[in-house]
Structures are given as structure tokens and as C-alpha cells.
Amino acid sequence: MKKALTLPLAIVAGVIAVYATGYPSGLPGLFSINAHGGQVRFAQGNLQYLAALGETVHPDGTSSGGTWRFALNQYDCAAMKNKDIASDYSDWIDMFGWGTSGFNNTANDPCAIYYQPYSSSNDSTDCEETNVTGYGPSTDQSYRGLAGPSAYYDWGVYNTISNSEAGVAWRSLTYGEWFYLLFSRPNAADLRSQATIHKLHGYVLLPDNWESPEGLTFTAHANDWKTNTYSVAQWKKMEEAGAVFLPAAGERRGAQIGWGNVKGFYWTASASNQKSAYVIHFNDTTLHTAGRCSRAYGHPVRLVCDVNRQTDPQAKFAGFDIRGTRMGEWIYNNGGFQDLQNLTVEDSDPTRHKYNLRITTGGQECSFTLGGVQFVFKNSESNKIAFRTTNSDIRPDGKDRKIIIPTAPGDEILVSIADSTDYPGLQAEGVTGSSVDLKAGDNILRATGEAIVLTTSNAEGQALKVKINAILCLSHQ
């Protein structure tokens, strides 16, 4: 047995001190994790656990001993200290076996026997077909990753984090989300590199809209530890601008720890098979997302929280700007938007009746009607936003109406008509080509500027059935 535990005052104080970022949901940087606009914030540091301190409340109504927290600095890691972890280990643990949130699901999954944060056994189980190592959900479960029915195996989902703002939902990124962040988001290769902070090697990730702090530089994919070197004071400025640092903490195998300050391994939420799970792996020259490690190995965990584009001050969707002399009357004559979900309207220019309509994705369909024109916002199968107007009388007063759709270069807009009648009254600006030849069927417009302006005209009072579909990637302001 280990010696009786005596907690230093600094450890106790560190548990209750909430990190003062000014953002209740972690670090300020926003990171895209998929092609349909999903973004996350990273936690302020790697996850840590102290078995002999306090109590943790779980969402299933139970509680257990021990305290979880985020490391007080992004460059903090226990490294060699974690080789003797056990239930009475007297220091912070930050090298975890996969799925060791403390969730005891052995009644339903008898093969998942190593679920405690201090589990370090490398012994094989008798469950060779489903869970050889005994860590995390078995492959015969309905969902073998740390999500869905198996979400409680995720450290962030199952545990209250002591130095996190109350109510923030933390989780682990999946393999696919890590891959998109590191390799597929716009300018991904320019937003990451090896670095050294306070003599600790690791990997720096920069947010989507990165701006270097004055007096500091960053070299992407440097492939060495020396090019990007920052003092503690310099890193503070980088962090305040949104940068994330993953220390090269090494790897624990049972009671042996190696590769400290040489290699970094970070768990994803995705299982590979009954023996292993996916990790993010880096050293001074390489970065991999397809790494697979035994679930029994000890690796750091960096949690994220999903960004709410409706409420987050940095991440609202830019929406659609719809202008027209009758638009204000239509809005107020319909008494507002009582039946909408995930949609808000801002009266940004009442003189010109300019309104910004904002929506977040989430699989829900939202619709409303303005003066007989129906607008439908829908999260389509491709996880893009579909925008549609349908009407048999485009404008009661016969005047033009402009629909301005904010876009980025390369966004695709689908425009179609509801019948076989040619519709010469439709014009488009901000797209490849100077005009749109609308006949029966669909036309794909590819944006070249910041917005596409569709102008409809019904000067002759024609009762035309017109449908305008616009499918575009999410853009942010």
C-alpha cells in the first residue's frame, strides 16, 4: 500500500480555482470539426484525476470518490509520475486507459472490467471476440465508441469537472473529427505545427480565424521542436489569441512510461477493434490521426465542448439577408416567428427593412411564411443548409425583390423552377457568369464573391410558380 495521503495546499486550491479565460466553455479559439459548420472549444489543459480527494457527481444520479479537473496550464503533464497509479495514488493522474471514466457498466457489459481512472492492468481478458483488454465498451455493444449508448465511458460526459464552469458539456473528439480539424478544415496545414513551450515539447493547433499576436510568429508544419519556441509569457499571448497546445507526454504501458517529451499520444472517442482504439500521434517530424493503440495503454485526454452558434458571442451563423420594401410589413403582419426552432431574426436596418435570419444545424427543419412566400430552412442529408422560396405571385406590387445570400468563394447554390415555364425575370450577381438562364430543371451557381444576389421580378403580373433552392456551406461572421 502507498503512504497515507497528505494533500499540499496548492493541490486543493487548484481544484476549486476556475480558469479565468473569460469564456465559460474553455479556451477562446474556435475549431471546425466537420464540413457542415460544427465547431468546438478545447479545454484549458489535459484532463486530470485525483482519487483521494473529494467526490464526483455523475449524470446517472450516482456519485463516486475522486476529483476531476483540467490541468492549470496547457503545458502541464505528469509524465513519469503516472507509472504507479492505483486507487490510493496520491497525485494527479493524467495518463488514462481508454474509456476509463469510472462508469461501471459490467452488469450490461461484463467484459468492460477496467473502467476506473486508475486502471493500469495489461492482462488479457477471456473476451477475445469482443474486448481483449477489458477497457471501454465491447464490440458486441450497440455502439462501441465513446458516444451514443456508450457515452458514459467518455470522461467528460460522465464526470463533473471541478474547475469547469457549471453546465458545460465536455466530450472527446472522434477519429473523424480529429482528422477534419487537422487535415480537412480550410487552411488546415497552416494551422498546426510542433512547438516548445517552457522547455516542454508538444503540438500547437491554431483556431479557424487565427491572427498572430503582435511581436510573435508561428511557422506551420515546422517538423522540429525548435522553430516555434515560446516562453511562458509569450505563450500566454498565443493562448489568449486561441492557440491550443498538446504536450508530448509520452505513453504508459502498465507501470512503465516512455517517450516523455519525445512523442505525444491523445485518445479519440473511436474504437478500432476489440483490442485497440484510435489515437492522435505526433513527434518532432510527423503527425498521424490513424494511429491505433492498445486500449490498456495510458494516454492523455484533451476534452472539447461543442459551440452553440445561437448563443456563442464568436460563432453565430451569418444567416440570410433578405431585403424588400414590403418585407417589414410581411414580418409584422405575421406576428413574428413564434413557431420557429433554432432561428432568430435581427432587425439590423429597419429603415431599409433589412433582416438577418440566423439558424443553427441540428437535424431540425424550420419554416415560416411571409406574405405567401414560404421559406424553409432544413438540415439536409448532406448536412448543408437548404433555402427555398415558393410562391405563385412573387410580389403583389410587381416590384423587384432581392434575396442576398452570404457565401464564400466556391459555395454552390442550387436554383430551380417549379414548372416548365421559362422564367426570364430571375437575375443573379456574384456568381460565375453574368446571367442565369432558368428553364425547367436545376442550375448550379458557384459563388465567386461574398454574396449571391437573386433578383425576382413580376412586373407584368404573371402568376408564375417559382422555387428557389440555395444549398451552401455554413459561413460565420
Cβ burial of 47 (10 Å; 0-12, 13-18, 19+) is: buried
Asked whether residue 477 is assigned to any structural domain, the reply reads no
The answer to whether 325 touches 399, Cβ cutoff 8 Å, is yes
Asked whether residue 87 is assigned to any structural domain, the reply reads yes
Write out the three cell numbers for 444: 448550379
Whether 108 and 201 map to the same domain: the answer is yes
Residue 436: give its domain's CATH number.
2.60.120
Residue type, 361: T
Whether 138 and 172 map to the same domain: the answer is yes
Strand order in the sheet with 170-171: 31-32, 39-42, 304-306, 170-171
Interatomic CA distance for residues 397 and 353, integer angstroms: 16
**Helix or strand or coil: residue 91?**
coil
Owning domain of residue 91: 9-306
243, 276, 306: which is the final residue of a domain?
306
Beta bridge partners of 33: none
Whether 447 and 357 map to the same domain: the answer is yes
Interatomic CA distance for residues 320 and 330, integer angstroms: 16
Asked whether residue 77 is assigned to any structural domain, the reply reads yes
Whether 25 and 131 map to the same domain: the answer is yes
Whether 324 and 235 map to the same domain: the answer is no
The answer to whether 474 touches 383, Cβ cutoff 8 Å, is no
282, 306, 330: which is the final residue of a domain?
306
The answer to whether 5 touches 91, Cβ cutoff 8 Å, is no
Asked whether residue 313 is assigned to any structural domain, the reply reads no
Q: What's CA 62's distance to the chain center, in Å?
A: 28
Asked whether residue 315 is assigned to any structural domain, the reply reads no
Whether 282 and 367 map to the same domain: the answer is no
Q: What is the DSSP letter of 213?
A: P
Asked whether residue 314 is assigned to any structural domain, the reply reads no
Whether 35 and 162 map to the same domain: the answer is yes
Whether 395 and 280 map to the same domain: the answer is no
Whether 161 and 285 map to the same domain: the answer is yes
Whether 273 and 239 map to the same domain: the answer is yes
Asked whether residue 312 is assigned to any structural domain, the reply reads no
Into how many domains does the chain fold?
Answer: 2
Asked whether residue 4 is assigned to any structural domain, the reply reads no
306, 333, 355: which is the final residue of a domain?
306
Whether 277 and 327 map to the same domain: the answer is no
Query: Can you give the pLDDT of all 477 residues of the chain as single tens digits?
Result: 333 333 333 343 343 333 334 455 589 999 998 765 678 999 999 999 999 899 999 999 999 999 999 999 999 998 778 988 999 999 999 999 999 999 999 999 999 999 999 999 999 999 999 999 999 999 998 778 998 889 999 999 999 999 998 889 999 999 989 998 999 998 999 999 999 999 999 999 999 989 999 999 999 999 999 999 999 999 999 999 999 999 999 999 999 999 999 999 999 999 999 999 999 999 999 998 878 999 999 999 999 998 865 456 665 433 333 332 222 222 222 222 222 333 344 444 433 333 344 433 333 334 433 333 334 444 333 333 333 333 333 333 444 445 555 455 665 555 544 444 444 555 566 666 544 554 444 556 666 765 566 655 444 434 333 444 433 333 222
Whether 54 and 127 map to the same domain: the answer is yes
Question: How many residues are there in the chain?
Answer: 477
Query: What letters, b where the CB count within 10 A reaches 16 and e where it falls short, cover 49-81?
Result: bbbbbeebebeeeeebebbbbbbbbbbbbbbee
